[in-house]
Amino acid sequence: MATSLPDDVRSWLQERGYNPFGDLCATKPGSGWTIMHQACDAGALNVCQWLLNNGAGSTIRTKDNEGWTPMFRACECGHLHIAQVTNAVFKLRLYYHILLWV
């Protein structure tokens, strides 16, 4: 279930042409970037956290047309704080799925 959309996140999404109430996992034609790629590239931690909590968490593993994930974009642009958050979320979800299989 989606949490409320903070004004700063709404503005950030709309300024970049994204519908905050649309498909948060969709990729842009041509680049293959998701909203998460864009947020990690820009260093927008608040947007990344909102996306992770509202249905776009699976996109932290999505590769763009060049084969790069959002976490790679964060690291490449020097946003290591974002890489730490996205990596922690990925590990928690992986652990949760492993527990379900056991």
pTM of this prediction? Answer: 0.78
pLDDT digits (tens, 9 = 90+) for 17-60: 888 888 888 888 889 999 999 999 999 999 998 998 888 877 88
Supply the pLDDT for residue 28: 85
pLDDT value of residue 43: 93
Predicted confidence (pLDDT) at residue 1 exceeds the cutoff of 50: no
Share of the chain above pLDDT 90, in %: 33
Domains of the chain: 7-101 (1.25.40.20)
Cα(75)–Cα(78) distance, rounded to whole angstroms?
5
How would you label 46-57 residue by residue, b for 16+ Cβ within 10 Å and e otherwise?
ebbbbbbebebb
